[in-house]
């Protein structure tokens, strides 16, 4: 008699991901994504149930409580399948492939993702959330398990046909269509089409649910900056103001939730993501530079305050010293309820604020019946901006009292793993915002986080994707290198330290060596010497974060202008052209690529000659940072040094020993500028 394989046990206890650790006590025999799991499926000749989610995902928690903690359903899963659990934030390469597979099956993607695979990892059917019994018009998970197992046992031919069709379709998705160079005027055409998607009353794109979409709003802001058409600026400011005043914003603690489930930005999906807030900090910085709107400044300061107060990852499991790098997410749920940590009743407000409660309730939409499920989501949607200074000072005092009281509640789950790409986004945002608002502590935090990633998340000269409590996981993706390289270049601009430029060049060399597609152009998501998945994904489409290829186009453009090396310009042009054929198919997802294309063709090169620490140099830098210049490439040249050829200012020099600025557009540079007011006027013109 042949020996049967030993029953599988739950192996998640040794993982570092907080999401995977949430499932370590499930009766499901969860396996991590590793060779042992696939070998077990082959030995048992069982299909694989792949479940993908993340720690802050509300419906992931729902499915876990309803099904994965249920002994009977778990026993069914263990008998019929080898069950693999994946954190989509830890393995974006895995998530990308199987999200695409589910979309190709005609299902709406999202999380939790539930996909059925052959023992070789080939998908043949899937979906997202499935309830424990039929409801919401969806079949129950137990019925699906039985049916999939039956089909796998009795119709291998049908499974093989489905697998072959999906694999071919997935390979086609990674073969990007090229249509040559993207002309600069494409940005205006795209902006006009996107403008038609903006809700003219509540802002944002489309209807519920509404996501902030900062990449698209940046494209519209750029369109206003180029041509002066106020309709673009108005669309962005309407959207940004509605978000800043709505319930999607945490009015006590700062920071934005991932999206709103309604069209008015009132009801958030309460999870807070590092990447969303990094992008919102960036957008608020641009908007404040051009408007000096105190609402934008306050939300910017509050959001950065939240990041520095609550999103610095611990160095180890003891919760002692901070690492200096940024954690990933805050959960939507606490005590088993979505939003419980954030909402209020009128009685609670009255008890905490006493005689001051009436003014606060009027400002923040607190009513006896609440505005969401009998509770109140604090918001200021009735007002387009801030009130008088005395009123705002009083409201700030009352918010502080409520925030202190909220601190005693059971906090939402905290995913404190450090991801290189998301840290790059936040580092870049802080590097831009710090000099604009004169906050050296923000810049120091950005430099500390950068140093942590560069030092602690590098192994054998190569970046890794995830870190938690001293343990590294998974080779870096394109996005890790792209976002950290952009962060390096922005730190180089802000600090004048050349080491950041050298680091960006080094990381770009790794991408060129291990990620570039020599046949179709563009960078693959994964390196050529890492785990072989069923397809090597490649795309320039933005998702919730800017696409790695699109970000790299901007990085390469900056490297060209900063170093004068044609190879960077040539690679940027090839990269953009590689994905130009997508413009006719899904232009909304190409905002970052279009923005990077504009940077490549319309850079405003600003060269500052002077000692970084000198008062006259700092005065000029302050004037530069006060102006929103989306295509700015800033270079600080210490005495005796100048930009590399063929930079148009390569033969320029300081005037009369003073700190001096030259503004160069194309091959033409301005006259030397030594006075901050004169410089400000030249930049604004």
Q: What is the DSSP string of 151-190?
A: HHHH-HHHHHHHHHHHHHHHHHHTSPPP-SPPPTTHHHHH
Q: Is the model's pLDDT at 517 over the cut of 50?
A: yes
Q: CA–CA separation, 52 vs 682, rounded Å?
A: 52
Q: Is the model's pLDDT at 248 over the cut of 80?
A: yes
- CB atoms < 10 A from the CB of 163, how many? 18
Q: CA–CA separation, 150 vs 229, rounded Å?
A: 61
The whole-angstrom distance between residue 574's C-alpha and the CA centroid of its chain comes to: 25
Residue 256 and residue 280 in contact, taking contact as beta carbons nearer than 8 Å: yes
- CB atoms < 10 A from the CB of 181, how many? 15
State the sign of the Cα–Cα–Cα–Cα dihedral 88, 90, 430, 601.
negative
Q: CA–CA separation, 267 vs 315, rounded Å?
A: 34
Which residue, among 421, 413, 315, has the nearest Cα to 55 in the 3D structure? 413
In this predicted structure, what is the pLDDT of residue 4?
65
Hey, what domains does the chain have and what are their CATH numbers? Answer: 12-173 (3.40.30.10), 192-332+414-602 (1.50.10.10), 342-406 (no CATH), 604-684 (3.40.30)
Residue 573 and residue 181 in contact, taking contact as beta carbons nearer than 8 Å: yes
Q: CA–CA separation, 563 vs 238, rounded Å?
A: 39
**For residue 23, what is the enclosing H or E element?**
none
The string of DSSP letters for 382-394 reads T-SS---HHHHHH
Cα–Cα–Cα angle for 201, 207, 209, rounded to 5 degrees: 125
The percent of residues above 90 in pLDDT, for the chain, comes to: 90
3-class secondary-structure state, position 661:
strand
Q: CA–CA separation, 122 vs 48, rounded Å?
A: 9
Q: CA–CA separation, 46 vs 42, rounded Å?
A: 7
Average confidence score pLDDT of the chain:
95
Confidence of residue 6 (pLDDT cuts 50, 70, 90): confident
In this predicted structure, what is the pLDDT of residue 685?
77
Lookup result for tokens 């492939």: 97
Measure the CA dihedral 329/330/331/333, to 10°: -170
**For residue 369, what is the enclosing H or E element?**
none
Q: Give mean pLDDT, residues 655-668.
A: 93
Q: Is the model's pLDDT at 212 over the cut of 90?
A: yes
Q: CA–CA separation, 66 vs 130, rounded Å?
A: 10
Flag the least confident range among 114-128, 310-324, 512-526. 310-324
In this predicted structure, what is the pLDDT of residue 640?
79
**Beta-bridge partner residues of 85:** 51
DSSP letter (8 states) at residue 264: T
Q: CA–CA separation, 659 vs 655, rounded Å?
A: 7
Residue 384 and residue 296 in contact, taking contact as beta carbons nearer than 8 Å: no
Using DSSP, how many helices (H) and how many strands (E) does the chain show?
24, 21
What is the per-residue pLDDT across 131-172, written as a single tens digit (0 to 9) for each?
Answer: 999 987 788 999 999 999 999 999 999 999 999 999 999 998
Residue 152 and residue 159 in contact, taking contact as beta carbons nearer than 8 Å: yes
Flag the least confident range among 160-174, 472-486, 561-575, 595-609. 160-174
3-class secondary-structure state, position 4:
coil
Phi/psi at 181 (5° precision): -65, 150
Q: Give mean pLDDT, residues 56-82.
A: 96
Give burial (CB, 10 Å; 0-12/13-18/19+) of 221: buried
Under 8 Å CB-to-CB from 391, ≥6 apart: which residues?
none
Question: Strand (E) positions, 196-338?
Answer: 259-260, 268-269, 272-273, 312-314, 322-326, 329-330, 333-334, 337-338
Confidence of residue 1 (pLDDT cuts 50, 70, 90): very low
Which residue, among 142, 114, 147, 140, has the nearest Cα to 128 in the 3D structure? 114
Q: Give mean pLDDT, residues 615-623.
A: 96
Give burial (CB, 10 Å; 0-12/13-18/19+) of 11: middle
Q: CA–CA separation, 552 vs 485, rounded Å?
A: 8
Q: Is the model's pLDDT at 468 over the cut of 50?
A: yes
Helix 274-291 vs helix 294-310: crossing angle, to nearest 10: 150
The string of DSSP letters for 194-207 reads HHTTB-TTT-SBSS
Q: Is the model's pLDDT at 2 over the cut of 60?
A: no
Which residue, among 483, 595, 537, has the nearest Cα to 220 in the 3D structure? 595
Q: Give mean pLDDT, residues 387-391.
A: 94
| Secondary-structure breakdown of the chain: helix, strand, coil percentages, each rounded to the nearest 5 | 50, 15, 35
The winner for highest mean pLDDT among 158-167, 380-389, 395-404, 653-662 is 395-404
- CB atoms < 10 A from the CB of 108, how many? 8
Under 8 Å CB-to-CB from 288, ≥6 apart: which residues?
296, 297, 300, 436, 437
Q: CA–CA separation, 670 vs 364, rounded Å?
A: 50
Q: CA–CA separation, 599 vs 557, rounded Å?
A: 7
Q: Is the model's pLDDT at 570 over the cut of 80?
A: yes
DSSP letter (8 states) at residue 65: I
Cis peptide bond N-terminal to 112, omega within 30 = yes
Q: CA–CA separation, 610 vs 659, rounded Å?
A: 5
């Amino acid at each position: 008699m042949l020996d049967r394989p030993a029953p599988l046990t739950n192996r998640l206890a040794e993982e570092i991901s907080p999401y995977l650790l949430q499932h370590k006590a499930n009766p499901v025999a969860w396996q991590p994504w590793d060779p042992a799991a696939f070998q077990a499926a082959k030995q048992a000749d069982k299909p694989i149930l792949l479940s993908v989610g993340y720690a802050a995902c509300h419906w992931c928690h729902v499915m876990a409580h309803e099904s994965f903690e249920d002994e009977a359903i778990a026993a069914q899963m263990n008998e019929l399948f080898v069950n693999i659990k994946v954190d989509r934030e830890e393995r974006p390469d895995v998530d990308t492939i199987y999200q695409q597979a589910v979309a190709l099956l005609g299902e709406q993607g999202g999380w939790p993702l539930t996909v059925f695979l052959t023992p070789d990892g080939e998908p043949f059917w899937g979906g997202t959330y499935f309830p424990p019994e039929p409801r919401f018009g969806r079949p129950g998970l137990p019925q699906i398990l039985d049916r999939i197992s039956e089909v796998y046992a009795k119709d291998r031919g049908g499974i093989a046909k489905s697998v072959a069709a999906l694999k071919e379709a997935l390979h086609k998705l990674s073969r990007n269509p090229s249509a040559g160079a993207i002309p600069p005027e494409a940005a205006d055409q795209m902006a006009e089409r996107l403008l038609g998607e903006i809700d003219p009353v509540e802002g944002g794109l489309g209807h519920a649910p509404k996501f902030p979409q900062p990449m698209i709003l940046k494209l519209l802001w750029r369109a206003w900056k180029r041509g002066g058409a106020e309709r673009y600026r108005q669309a962005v400011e309407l959207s940004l103001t509605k978000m800043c005043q709505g319930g999607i914003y945490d009015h006590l603690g700062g920071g934005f939730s991932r999206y709103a489930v309604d069209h008015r930005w009132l009801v958030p999906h309460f999870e807070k993501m590092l990447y969303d807030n990094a992008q919102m900090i960036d957008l608020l910085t641009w908007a404040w530079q051009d408007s000096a709107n105190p609402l934008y400044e306050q939300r910017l300061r509050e959001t950065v305050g939240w990041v520095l107060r609550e999103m610095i990852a611990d160095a180890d499991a003891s919760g002692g010293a901070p690492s200096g790098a940024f954690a990933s997410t805050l959960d939507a749920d606490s005590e088993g309820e979505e939003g419980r940590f954030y909402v209020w009743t009128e009685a609670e407000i009255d008890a905490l604020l006493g005689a001051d409660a009436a003014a606060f309730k009027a400002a923040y939409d607190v009513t006896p019946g609440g505005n969401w499920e009998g509770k109140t989501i604090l918001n200021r949607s009735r007002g387009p901006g801030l009130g008088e200074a005395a009123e705002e000072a009083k409201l700030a005092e009352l918010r502080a009292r409520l925030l202190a009281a909220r601190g005693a509640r059971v906090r939402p789950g905290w995913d404190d793993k450090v991801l290189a790409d998301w840290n790059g986004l936040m580092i870049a945002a802080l590097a831009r915002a710090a000099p604009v608002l004169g906050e050296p502590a923000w810049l120091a935090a950005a430099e500390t986080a950068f140093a942590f990633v560069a030092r602690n998340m590098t192994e054998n000269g190569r970046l890794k994707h995830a870190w938690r409590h001293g343990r590294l996981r998974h080779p870096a993706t394109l996005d890790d290198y792209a976002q950290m390289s952009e962060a390096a270049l922005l730190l180089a601009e802000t600090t004048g330290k050349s080491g950041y430029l050298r680091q960006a060049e080094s990381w770009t060399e790794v991408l060129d060596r291990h990620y570039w597609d020599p046949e179709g152009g563009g960078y693959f998501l994964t390196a050529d010497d890492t785990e072989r998945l069923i397809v090597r994904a490649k795309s320039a489409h933005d998702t919730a974060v800017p696409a790695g290829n699109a970000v790299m186009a901007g990085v390469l453009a900056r490297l060209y202008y900063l170093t004068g090396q044609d190879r960077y310009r040539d690679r940027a042009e090839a990269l953009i052209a590689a994905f130009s054929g997508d413009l006719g198919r899904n232009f909304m997802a190409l905002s970052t690529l279009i923005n990077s294309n504009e940077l490549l063709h319309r850079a405003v090169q600003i060269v500052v000659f002077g000692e970084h620490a000198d008062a006259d140099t700092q005065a000029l830098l302050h004037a530069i940072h006060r102006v929103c210049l989306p295509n700015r490439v800033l270079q600080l040249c210490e005495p005796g040094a100048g930009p590399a050829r063929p930079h148009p200012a390569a033969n320029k020099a300081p005037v009369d020993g003073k700190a001096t600025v030259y503004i160069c557009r194309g091959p033409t540079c301005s006259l030397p500028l030594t006075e901050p007011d004169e410089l400000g006027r030249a930049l604004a013109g």
